[in-house]
Amino acid sequence: MTKRIIFLSQLFDPEYSIKGLALCQHLKSQGYEVEVVTTFPSYPTGKIFDGFRNRLKNTEFEGDIKVTRLWSYVTDRKGKLSRAINYFSFFLTSFSYLLFCKKADVIYAYHPQITTGVSAGFIKYIRRTPFITDIQDLWPESLIVEGASADSLVSRVIRRMVNFSLRNASKIVVLSNGFKNYLVEHRVEESKINVIYNWCPEEKRYLEVTPESSSERDKEQKTFLYTGNHGPLQSLEHVVKAFALVPPELAQFILVGQGTEKSKLQALVKDLNIQNVTFKDFVSPQELVGLVRDADVMVCHLRNDPLFDITIPSKVQAYLCSGKPILIATGDEASELVKRAKAGLSAESENAESIACTIKRFTNMSEDELNQMGRSGQEFYRRELQQSHGFQSVTRAIEECL
């Protein structure tokens, strides 16, 4: 009999999600019946995408994948309360749906939001359905890094929710060895934990960006590119200040994306009269590939915090896949991954002088040296992080639950 998998996630295509439609299509190709349970796309703008309407329930098909979209509270407000209501609303609608829909053999609860694991945990109790929880962020640790008190009511409630999910999950998927060690230290059963590195969802496009493909590599000024969220955890003000210490004729910095700190970063550039830093909003995937192609070095920075010693930002995989050298100023595990790949240079996080020194080291490199770094990173990605490897690992985790 065909085994049925429900892929439960608040993020799903056409939103940017590492584990999404492509993974579900792979599972379908392996002989599983797959249904996606998600909501209507709105991330990161907080506005429902064109072509969709937020309603109680809608069923659509992406090829032969059934996608059930359920109502959730959607707002473009960025506060913690709005975010909490958004997560809780999807918990209510998804739990209600899972309670009465055709029973699954396994639920795969994808975990940017903690409530998917809680929904799956309740369904395990009621319908005896095993589930896998896929952890992309540690909660409430991520909130504590943003300034929440570890002893606050919110933190205590979230920790109980997470512990409930971890205790009842048949398998736990994490994105780094550091996450695994952290959970084991907090008394999570080690045999339940599978480390599956994230991959680059846009790998087909990025693998076409060869290290030699920049049209302007012979210019003296090097282009450094950052893509993604401009939030408090990225602490990008230190990178901006680093470029203020570098002559504009040597290096320019382009930041692509949005986030709660973007306006502050723009004000900082204006106040310090920095000439070599520019901003772009979200761009199409095609335009982004063009920006990556013309960049000399990709930039990854995170706040200096113990939590980030054990995480690997998903942009690291994307940067490796793109075949571009990486300036990385993060915690230990992500920096070690880039070092193993021989794909870049590291700097001290939240240290503008250290970052500026590393920028200057890149500007002194020859075209051949930069190309070799890019090739090493791309070869490492193909060898150890490629999407097909991740698909196989997820499939094995599911099979162990059946």
Q: What is the mean pLDDT of residues 130-147?
A: 89
The mean pLDDT value for 137-166 works out to 87
Q: Is the pLDDT of residue 219 over 80?
A: no
For the ranges 43-57, 113-127, 212-226, 345-359, the one whose mean pLDDT is highest? 345-359
| Identical fold between 4-199+386-399 and 203-385 | yes
Residue length of the chain: 402
Residue 349: which residues within 8 A CB-CB, separation 6 or more? 235, 238, 301, 302, 303, 304, 308, 329, 330, 331
Q: Kindly report the CATH number that applies to the domain delimited by 203-385.
A: 3.40.50.2000
Is it the case that residue 216 has pLDDT exceeding 90? no
Domain spanning 4-199+386-399, CATH class: alpha beta
Q: Is the pLDDT of residue 208 over 80?
A: no
Which has the closest alpha carbon to 341: 324, 353, 356? 324
pLDDT of 255-279, one tens digit each? 999 888 999 999 999 999 999 999 9
pLDDT value for 76: 83
Q: What is the pTM of this model?
A: 0.90
Domain edges within the chain: 4-199+386-399, 203-385
Q: Which one is predicted more confidently, 81 or 59?
A: 59
The DSSP code for 190 is G
Q: Is 135:175 a contact under the CB 8 Å cutoff? A: yes
Distance CA(162)–CA(150), nearest Å, equals 14
Structure tokens at 177: 């060895």
pLDDT tens-digit readout, 329-347: 998 999 999 999 999 999 9
Reported as a pLDDT band with limits 50, 70 and 90, residue 144 is confident
User: pLDDT tens-digit profile of 18-37?
Assistant: 999 999 999 999 999 999 99
* pLDDT, tens only, 159-194: 999 999 999 999 999 999 999 999 999 999 999 999
> For the chain, what percent of residues have pLDDT higher than 90?
78
Report which of 126, 74, 73, 134 is spatially closest to residue 95, judged by C-alpha positions.
126
Q: Which residues contact 20 (CB under 8 A, 6 or more apart)?
A: 9, 11, 12, 13, 201
- Of 29, 201, 315, the closest CA to residue 328 belongs to 315
Decide which of 326 and 85 is more confident: 326
Q: How many CA atoms lie within 13 A of 319 on its CB side?
A: 30
Under a CB-based contact definition with an 8 Å cutoff, are residues 358 and 346 in contact? yes
* Rounded Cα distance, 329 and 384, in Å: 22
CA distance 306 to 304: 7
Tens digit of each residue's pLDDT (9 = 90 or more) over 225-262:
999 999 999 999 999 999 999 999 999 999 999 888 99
Mean pLDDT score across all residues of the chain: 92
- Does pLDDT of 288 surpass 90? no
Whether the predicted pLDDT of 285 surpasses 90: no
Q: How far apart are CA 319 and CA 323, in angstroms?
A: 7
Q: What is the mean pLDDT of residues 76-97?
A: 88
According to the model, what pLDDT value does residue 40 have? 96
| pLDDT of 213 over the 80 cut | no
